[in-house]
Amino acid sequence: MTFQQNRYNVSQPFKDIKVIDLTHVLAGPFATYQFALLGADVIKVENPKNPDCARGRGGDVSQNNKMLGMNYQVQGGNKRAISIDLKTYQGQTIFKKLIKQADILVENYRTSALDELGLGYKALTAVNPKLIYCSITGFGATGNKAKTNAYDNVIQASSGIISQSGGHKPGVSFVDYATGLEAAFAISAALFRAERTGMGAYISVSMYETALLMMAPEAAREKNQHNNPNHLEAGIKIYPTQQGELCLGAFTPQQMSKCLKALSLDGYCHIRIPILNEWDELWKAGESLYTELRSVFLQNTAEFWQEYMHNIGLPAEKLRPLAAAVNDQQLDTRQFFEKVTINGKPQYIPTSAYKFADEGGVKLTRSAPQISQHTDEILQQIDVKPEEIAALRKSGVIL
């Protein structure tokens, strides 16, 4: 067993990593949450007068009023919180002390906003040359839209996602979350390089580019002007049934052939099964297959067809509301939600979609912090004396 293996739990590979989290809303906090789940010391830095607005959002009004809304809770666990006014000289001095001891800074402010405060990449790497500095913005740190502000919904509009979705925004902020994961992956790569070379890094993450990455085949088709018509893909359509709707997953030509053969043998359909060895053959048969499958699936319920397809080895799931999805026994088995107590009330918080074979999943060791909860503790760790803390608080530099 090596020293590294002896020292760290597999589920806490970032145990000695310090992350300064200067982010708000969703994408940035979700990126830093990945490190908090894996053992890093993540310090959330907020403006005393204007904390993270996600604190006030969520389904429980009483929690929102306490600035512990669920939109904040779901990516705030395992972090510590400090409030500093970075527009003051004293606040900037404290922040630089934090940076001096940090491995990573993540921020998602407007491009150049921190430069204007004297806290940009060049200024902070003068304090800590090994710093990994990650900036998350709507359109990236360069280009004609570098300083354009953005939220998930406007990125979905600008990137073509809403157009691809029939003119309606999907009901979730998945660009934010995908951007957070993209940022976390890039930071992890920079950490890996730093372990080998001692070099820091500047990382610019673009929500706009992340959105296009999530529909890479469609984006590449449009960019390369490949004008193949959109084919009706019968194997991945949603079908009405006697009760509910079924989303079929007979994606490949081979899977569709398997589906049709089983349905024919069991007497559910009576068409001449076409030869489906190639994609072109599947696409050409799309309209007729869709018509036939619609009539087949109307013979029974979505529940029945889901089980039927599973039994023949094909993906298929009935459409169900989110309330049913989050209460699926599968999630209990995988321990996806972790129960925590927030202001005396039990809450269930999503953790991660992966598990380590030898140690299981990541753990929430603390719930998301209240505003400025750890300010004194953090300042004492960078040698700020109690009387100095009191003076800083009196002057409004800290909360």
DSSP state of 199: -
Q: Once rounded to an integer, what is the mean pLDDT over residues 219-237?
A: 87
Q: How confident is the model at residue 8 (pLDDT cuts 50, 70, 90)?
A: low
* 351 and 290 in a common domain: no
Whole-number average pLDDT of the chain: 94
Q: What is the pLDDT of residue 255?
A: 96
Burial of 118 (0-12, 13-18, 19+ CB in 10 A): middle
Q: How confident is the model at residue 285 (pLDDT cuts 50, 70, 90)?
A: very high
* 80 and 24 in a common domain: yes
* 381 and 350 in a common domain: yes
- CATH number of the domain residue 361 falls in: 3.40.50.10540
Helix and strand totals (H; E) in the chain: 20, 11
Q: Show Cβ contacts of residue 42 under 8 Å, excluding neighbours closer than 6 positions.
A: 19, 21, 32, 33, 35, 36, 78, 79, 80
Q: Residues 239-274: pLDDT tens digits?
A: 999 999 999 999 999 999 999 999 999 999 987 878
Q: Structural domain of residue 282, as residue ranges? A: 234-321
Q: Phi first, then psi: give them for residue 22, nearest 5 degrees.
A: -105, 55
**Final residue of a structural domain among 321, 346, 366:** 321
- Asked if 55 contacts 16 with a C-beta cutoff of 8 angstroms, the reply is no
Inside any domain, residue 222: no
Inside any domain, residue 384: yes
* 242 and 210 in a common domain: no
How far is Cα 199 from Cα 193, in angstroms, rounded to an integer?
7
Q: Residues 303-332: pLDDT tens digits?
A: 999 999 999 999 999 999 999 999 999 999
Inside any domain, residue 44: yes
Looking at the 3D structure of the chain, how many domains does it have? 2
* 136 and 48 in a common domain: yes
Active site residues: 176
- Written as six digits, the tokens of 252 are 């490949």
**Final residue of a structural domain among 259, 292, 321:** 321
- Asked if 112 contacts 81 with a C-beta cutoff of 8 angstroms, the reply is no
- CATH number of the domain residue 283 falls in: 3.30.1540.10
Inside any domain, residue 289: yes
pTM of the predicted model as reported, rounded to 2 decimal places: 0.92
Inside any domain, residue 84: yes
* 239 and 118 in a common domain: no
